[in-house]
A = this chain, B = another copy of it.
């Protein structure tokens, strides 16, 4: 059990080049305006970020930046797509797009940096 399960996330694929996680927006994930809570979008992006950054190293999140572009609504299927920006020896930065559907528009853009110890699969 954990937050990913609590919020109904599903890992679509996980590789160092691209990791995708899916989630359907339900009432349990809304804010007071009736749209997806910022925390829901972040949690989805952060899960993809955590998975991709830990595939080939032991990684701990240092900081993240999230830009909100468009609201998500109940019933929307969100897909977070994480890709590496730069993977160094002790630090790595990843980009995560939160999309409406696998090919849909970008609702939020996440950038995150981890501190890592390589080779500790």
Contact of A2 among B27, B44, B54, B60 (CB under 8 A): B27
**What copy number does this chain have within its complex?**
4
* A86 cross-chain contacts in B, Cβ below 8 A: 67, 69, 106, 109
* A40 cross-chain contacts in B, Cβ below 8 A: 3, 43
Contact of A47 among B39, B46, B60, B68 (CB under 8 A): B39
A59 to chain B, nearest CB (A): 10
Cα A69 to Cα B40 with chains together (Å): 21
Cα A64 to Cα B115 with chains together (Å): 16
Is the beta-carbon distance between A91 and B62 smaller than 8 angstroms?
A: yes
Contact of A109 among B42, B60, B85, B91 (CB under 8 A): B85
Ranked nearest first, the 10 interchain pairs of A and B with the lowest CB-CB distance are A39-B43, A3-B37, A38-B46, A42-B42, A2-B30, A6-B28, A63-B67, A65-B65, A69-B86, A39-B46
